[in-house]
Amino acid sequence: MILRTDHLGKRYKGNVWGLKNFSAAIDTGILGLLGPNGAGKSTLMKILATVTRPTEGSANWDGYDVAGSPENIRRSLGYLPQDFGVYPNLNAVEYLSYLAAARGISGKSGKRRINQLLELVNLGEARKRRLGSLSGGMKQRVGIAQALLNDPQLLIVDEPTAGLDPEERIRFRNLLSELSGNRIVILSSHIVSDIEAVATSIAIMNKGHLLTYSTPEELLRSVQNKVWEITISSIELPEIKRTHLVSNTIRTVDGVRARVVGEQEPNNTARRAVPTIEDAYLLLLNGKQGEPHEG
Amino acid sequence: MRGKLQILYQLSLADFRERKRRYSFLVTMIGATFFGYLVITGKYTIQFGQYKCIYNSAWAGTLMAVCCSIMVTIVGFYLVRGSIKRDRDTKVGQIIATTQMSGRIYITSKLISNTAALLLMVASLAVMAFATLLVKNEMNGISLWAFISPFIIICLPALIFVASISVLFETFRWLRGSAGNIIYLFLAETWVVLGMLTVPFLDIASIAVFTDSARAAAEMAYPGVRVGLIAGFVAFDPEMHFEVFKTFSWNGIDWTIAMLLMRLQWIVLAIAATGIATLAFDRFDPAKYKVKTTRRKIRKLLSSEVQENHLAPVQPGYSSLCQVEPKFRLAQMVAAELRLALKGYHWFWYMVAFGLMAAQGAAPFNIARQFLIPVSMVWPLIIWSSMGTRETSFNTDQLLFSSPSPLRRQLPAIWFSGFLIALAAVAVMAVRAGLAGQWPYVLTLVVAAFLVPSISLTMGVLSGGRKIFEVTYLVIWYIGSIDRLTALDILGTLEQSIMASKSLLLIIIAISSLIVTFLTRRRQMNMY
């Protein structure tokens, strides 16, 4: 079970490329997609979910071309789009039953699975409530449940933690970890900590291009000895921000503790810090400015 | 004051621009142009028996202005309504609500934008009429005022009034949906018909004023003759076809103060409707348009919130969930589509639907045929018009289009659910007719049940919205099955409406439209 993309690209109206030259071999585990708005994450996911067709290149699932034979991947697919809707007059069970019918899931086992999924996403008590009356986070959990209806071998989730409270976010991360053993999970998020917590590989994208595709360890190694902590006064902070890449600041009684990412130490009081994925992400985005990944 | 006018101008302009860049507006303009063609070619016209006015500026302008006013009154409402709904749906309204802009300015801007859209439509028809006049003019010279004044005096007040009613209907929750569409159609028809017949102050399109004036000219030219009149689709009426017409000269309506005041009345009514709309406008407060919740429901909701927050049920692990073996069943999908289509209406809707079915069995045969069947076949309008649009309007398209075989599974299921609903709407009457041996009528009913969901699905998939089907179907339904124009009577309310060739044609139309639906949906799925 492997998902390959080969120079995948999508051009939108007005000759705007949403995705360009994306090549990767995605194996079982969780692939975290990181990138700013407009990086091409959602476009990539829509192509892989057969919602949109690539303008160039190809994607291949288990030997079948995704655009040419979408049915093969659809049978194995669970997909949660970034923005999806619900039918407000249906309750969660009815909504999931509807989508289950579209996927050919029916009968007693189908009903049991729907109820179990609703328990899994902590909506057991709200299963009979009209979806129109649910909060955004609860609807998002219904969306997560629908993506798991057919026990997908390929799970694509676009910004799944949007609208979830911290407790639910952790619950969802744990669920993804449990899922990742024998299937491919592709997860996109703006929240680096979500990716950091669960991803077994990470792809960083910008302006439609793949900047890097590596394991979290490799990514962390790329910023080894390049992350510094300095304590400065509030007055000095704007100048440091102007001249250096500051990934984080914390107010302390001694001033502002700033986390600086760069080859050179920002001043002689700087101390080396343990790097994080966020540091690597920022360095990559600001250092390469969208320069595409080779290979 | 100048600042407010500036805001009003900018708001109206933005709304109008947004509207005219929509695909549906293009379709509307094409439809309006086709209507203009029908008028110019005499297929839709006002005809005085075998007496025909000499084609001059007054006739060309007044005829088009009156026909435009009828069209705007009946159809224009549907074409312009929805701009407040759009702001509500896109949540732009909530941003607008937080600004300093008053409800009065907002509602007025919608009125202006609606008026501008209708005006553009009428202007294009006026240009068509003028071009035709240049070719067909039977008099020496062209009088610009005689041509243009009917558009100003007849059309303008009518379209301002319709634009205001459209805004008014949008500000009342219960008039926003399909119920408002049906209510308006009856109101508009009443205005037009009563105005034409007996009640001058309801004559929104000035039909009576126009025909009285022209008829007087004809009767003066041919003393002692009683000149007949027909307005509408003359092309479908064989009695109105003459080899040779007798001509008369007419130089336009001689407007009196009383007549002009009658026209002014529509503008005054438009201002009043806008005032009421301003008072009723909820400023996008979600609390005012959400479904009312009963105390019992509130208690139930609160109890489930409490349980959810504090009892924190123990979830099973994913690996412990039961496994499923996907196997598609069309019946399952149709049942799911039926549930989706039929859920969420007021209990009154279901009660009337079942009442109509029962009444088809109890009422005298001809009453059921001429009145109950037409009502039964318009009652589920809201269901049919949602077909093919739900995926877009509820944003579930990505979920469904990434499911296995959406074209072979979900699309036929949608159609089949609509067909079953249509069959249910006429079933009792069909059985009754079958028992009475009236098989051609049974076939007509089944063909109608086949046709209506087919064209609704096509229009829904093509346009992505409900409006085009609702307008088209309501107009055909009204003209055909209420006004009893046999060519358009698809429900066979009159014996002479039933023809084997017509049924065959309708089946061909239905099948063609289903093919168009399939191809369109396939293209849409590849277009993202």
ipTM of the complex: 0.83
Q: What is the mean pLDDT of chain A?
A: 90
Residue B170: which pLDDT band, with cuts at 50, 70 and 90?
very high
pLDDT digits (tens, 9 = 90+) for B97-106: 877 788 899 9
How far CA A85 is from CA of A37, A41, A80, B64, B394, in Å, comes to 21, 20, 11, 45, 5
CB B418 within 8 Å of CB B383: yes
Q: Are residues A166 and A262 in the same domain?
A: no
Q: Is residue A259 part of a domain?
A: yes
pLDDT digits (tens, 9 = 90+) for B126-154: 999 999 999 988 888 899 999 999 999 99
Q: Are residues A155 and A238 in the same domain?
A: no
Q: Are residues A146 and A247 in the same domain?
A: no
CB A277 within 8 Å of CB A227: no
Q: Are residues A126 and A260 in the same domain?
A: no
pLDDT digits (tens, 9 = 90+) for A207-228: 999 999 999 999 999 999 999 9
CB B67 within 8 Å of CB B58: no
Closest CA to A127 of A119, A252, B99: A119
List, as ranges, residues 169-208 from A with C-beta within 8 Å of B. 171, 175, 178-179
Q: Are residues A151 and A195 in the same domain?
A: yes
Q: Between B196 and B255, whose confidence is greater?
A: B255
Question: Is A178 close to B317, i.e. CB distance below 8 A?
Answer: yes
Residue of B nearest to A150 (CA): B324
Residues 6+ apart with CB under 8 A from A149: A78, A96, A99, A100, A103, A105, A113, A114, A117, B324
Identity at A108, one-letter amino acid code: K
CB B383 within 8 Å of CB B453: no
Of the candidates B312, B319, B403, which has its C-beta nearest A103's C-beta? B403
Q: Are residues A206 and A67 in the same domain?
A: yes
Question: Is A51 close to B321, i.e. CB distance below 8 A?
Answer: no
Q: Is residue A196 part of a domain?
A: yes
- At residue B174, does pLDDT exceed 90? no
Q: Is residue A279 part of a domain?
A: no
Question: Is B333 close to A97, i.e. CB distance below 8 A?
Answer: no
Residues 6+ apart with CB under 8 A from A244: A260, A261, A262, A266
Q: Is residue A284 part of a domain?
A: no
> Does B400 lie at the interface with A, CB-CB under 8 angstroms?
yes
Of A216, A234, A253, the last residue of a domain is A216
Question: Is B301 close to A129, i.e. CB distance below 8 A?
Answer: yes
B235 to chain A nearest CA, in Å?
45
- Helix, strand, coil percentages (3-state) for chain A, rounded to 5, are 35, 30, 35
Identity at B159, one-letter amino acid code: L
- Helix, strand, coil percentages (3-state) for chain B, rounded to 5, are 75, 5, 25
Say whether A255 sits in a helix, a strand or coil.
strand
How far CA B168 is from CA of A240, B4, B163, in Å, comes to 59, 22, 9
The lowest-confidence range among A168-182, B248-262, B407-421, B435-449 is A168-182
Q: Is residue A21 part of a domain?
A: yes
- Residue A247: which domain range? 225-274
How far CA A290 is from CA of A208, B259, B505, in Å, comes to 8, 71, 59
Q: Are residues A177 and A231 in the same domain?
A: no
Q: Are residues A233 and A209 in the same domain?
A: no
Q: What is the pLDDT of residue B299?
A: 53
Q: Is residue A283 part of a domain?
A: no
List, as ranges, residues 11-50 from B with C-beta within 8 Å of A. none
**Bridge partners of A260?**
A228, A246
List, as ranges, residues 330-349 from B with C-beta within 8 Å of A. 332-333, 335-337, 339-340, 343-344
In total, how many domains does chain A have?
2
Q: Is residue A295 part of a domain?
A: no
Q: What is the pLDDT of residue B385?
A: 93
Average pLDDT over residues A2-25: 93
| CB burial of residue A219 (10 Å; 0-12, 13-18, 19+) | buried
Q: Where are the beta strands (DSSP E) in chain A?
A: 3-12, 16-26, 29-34, 56-61, 64-65, 77-80, 154-158, 184-188, 201-206, 209-214, 227-232, 245-252, 255-261, 271-272
CA angle B333/B339/B345 to nearest 5° reads 155
What is the CATH classification number for the domain harbouring A98? 3.40.50.300
Torsion angles phi and psi, residue B5, rounded to 5 = -65, -40
Of A199, A216, A233, the last residue of a domain is A216
Q: Are residues A100 and A148 in the same domain?
A: yes
For residue B15, the tally of other CB atoms under 10 A from its CB is 22
Q: What is the pLDDT of residue B239?
A: 63
In three state form, how does the secondary structure of B418-431 look? HHHHHHHHHHHHHH
- At residue B13, does pLDDT exceed 50? yes
Q: Are residues A137 and A238 in the same domain?
A: no
Q: Are residues A64 and A201 in the same domain?
A: yes
Question: Is B340 close to A117, i.e. CB distance below 8 A?
Answer: no
Token look-up 């360890």 returns A217
Closest CA to A288 of A226, A204, A211, A223: A211
The lowest-confidence range among A277-281, B38-42, B338-342 is B38-42
Q: Are residues A7 and A84 in the same domain?
A: yes
Residue B308: which pLDDT band, with cuts at 50, 70 and 90?
very low
- At residue A293, does pLDDT exceed 70? no
Q: Is residue A204 part of a domain?
A: yes
Q: What is the pLDDT of residue B277?
A: 95
